[in-house]
Structure 1
Amino acid sequence: MISTQASKLIGLTNNVKTKSKTKLITITSGKGGVGKSTFTANIAYLLAQKGLKIAVLDADIGLANMQVLFDIKPKTTFFDYIDGRKSLDEIILKTEYPNVSLIAGKSGYEYSNHSNTFVYTRVAEDIIALNEFDILLVDTGAGLNDYVKEFLSISDNILALTTTDPSALTDVYSLMKMLSLGKSKLMLCFNHTRNYKIGETISNSLVKLAQKNRLNSDFMVEYIGNVSTSAQISTTGRLRKLFTKEFILDESTKQMQVIIDYLIKNIH
């Protein structure tokens, strides 16, 4: 269940969003190792190629790696803002990709002092309040710990990335159950999945399982696309480059373009 404190935060954030052009998309997975950060970084690049100004917040608390994907060695992270050492402007870092900025996380950060205080989501609120970006992408950590739940609680646009691995599907179903208590929909993408139809079939099976178990009937799961396995993805990752830039004609890049088109038309 979403706590009373989280509910109050949702209300505050909704007030901020009505005054800001910045749309918030939270990208999550349930299970680790499904390629979520790589997916997020490439989504950011493709959105920017459409002329949108994008900010990426690395909210994988304690295991941040977005700076590797963007080939940045950040001197500041969003923890410097939380701890009062830096201003918001100082933690928003330009990347080499036009119209893409990064708010870096920090690997190994000791975050126990901030437990259950919602300071992490305040960073997202404050970036939205700047009214500077068209879209803020939040890359959460794996699992459904309190920190991931905080970022999910403030977002109306939640995109879950999964694979066909049974344990990944179990985790994404757990995410569906949790979100159905307080959200209206979940966008679902399949990574390392050969074709669109496979993801669509599994998505339909998850929806039928939800109906059988009587999850909230008003909760929608929207399957929005798949990304095939490509040797180019791992190669460019090791080189700290984005495969959607380096391999424009690759099938995986074309599949991500389909996802981008959906997001542009349907997020709010």
Structure 2
Amino acid sequence: MFNSISAQASKLVSLTKSKSVVSKTKLLTITSGKGGVGKSTFTANMAYLLARRGFKVAVIDADIGLANMQVLFDIKPRYSLFDYIEGRNTIEEVISPTAYENISLIAGKSGYQYSSLKTSLVLTRIVDDVKSLNNFDYIIIDTGAGLNEYVQEFLSISDNILALTTTDPSALTDVYALIKMLSKDKEKLLICFNHTKNYNIGETISKSLVNLAKKNRLNSNFMVKYIGNVSTSANISTTSRLRKLFVQEFTHDEITLQLQKIIDILLKEIK
């Protein structure tokens, strides 16, 4: 399925390349495989730190049917990305400003019935259209859990993919499945560990995943790069319940400093 979607994405890029506006906007897709690892919270706080560095960021909530990014940013968007995809509103109308300077949100829609979206790339069309506005430095896509065809569609168009995981065995199993899938068509995968006590734990597990990939003779040219960890902290869940961002409320907390280090590496890695 992923190969099919990826091939269609390549054809679409080829067909539209001459018509596309050269854009400064870079794309980062954040995924997890397993749900419940804190991906949306991680994404929202990362967007804030990028914005604090002066970058203009558009966050796309691509968690089809279970969108919650508007809760984290504490806004009530009038329109969602589906209003644009279904032709009811313009791209500018579905981009909602947030209370945070330099951050805009393209909201998803909880409970959305997406069975009618049968044409591959109908969802990812919005990414090209936001890029063509040339208004943002970064687009961050927050995908849904799992590796369904909609998640795969977003992964297929991104060269910058960050997998967020935990040390939970089922989460690691899902990350390895992601590695197997992406190694067929992509050059690399960045990995970050959430709710992990220290940097070394994530580093050790990442090396084990790489060794397993080598043992199973996955694409030897595919690179898995560990870029850091965020420790467990009660401050994260507390601020989320209050619809606030922990990196804003706890500027000098260890978890904020850890996320800052991750962003330092990301800025070097993102093409």
Question: Measured at CA, do residues 12 and 225 of structure 1 come closer, stay the same or move farther in structure 2, by a change above 3 Å?
Answer: farther
Residue 186 (1) aligns with residue 185 (2): no
Partner in structure 2 of residue 174 of structure 1:
177
TM-score, normalising length: structure 2: 0.96
Partner in structure 1 of residue 229 of structure 2:
226
1:54, 1:12 → 2: CA distance? 27
Please report how far the alpha carbon of residue 18 of structure 1 lies from its aligned counterpart in structure 2 after TM superposition: 8.0
Q: Which amino acid in the other structure matches residue 150 of structure 1?
A: E
CA contact (8 A) 2:203 2:226 kept: yes
Partner in structure 1 of residue 3 of structure 2:
2
Alpha carbon RMSD of aligned pairs, Å?
A: 1.4
1:14, 1:161 → 2: CA distance? 31
CA contact (8 A) 1:186 1:221 kept: yes
TM-score, normalising length: structure 1: 0.97
- Which moved further from structure 2: 254-263 or 113-122? 113-122
**Partner-residue secondary structure (3-state), 2:200:** helix
Alignment of 1:239-258 (within 5 A): 239-258=242-261
Question: Measured at CA, do residues 40 and 265 of structure 1 come closer, stay the same or move farther in structure 2, by a change above 3 Å?
Answer: same
Question: Measured at CA, do residues 66 and 15 of structure 1 come closer, stay the same or move farther in structure 2, by a change above 3 Å?
Answer: farther
Partner in structure 1 of residue 57 of structure 2:
54
CA contact (8 A) 1:13 1:154 kept: no
Structure 1 residue ranges, 4+ long, deviating more than 3 angstroms after superposition? 9-18
Alignment of 1:19-34 (within 5 A): 19-34=22-37
Q: Which amino acid in the other structure matches residue 163 of structure 2?
A: A
Question: Measured at CA, do residues 81 and 154 of structure 1 come closer, stay the same or move farther in structure 2, by a change above 3 Å?
Answer: same
Q: Which amino acid in the other structure matches residue 55 of structure 2?
A: L
1:219, 1:106 → 2: CA distance? 34
1:15, 1:142 → 2: CA distance? 34
List alignment gaps of at least 5 residues for structure 2.
none
1:6, 1:265 → 2: CA distance? 26
How high is the sequence identity, in percent, across the aligned residues? Answer: 69
Q: How many residues align?
A: 268
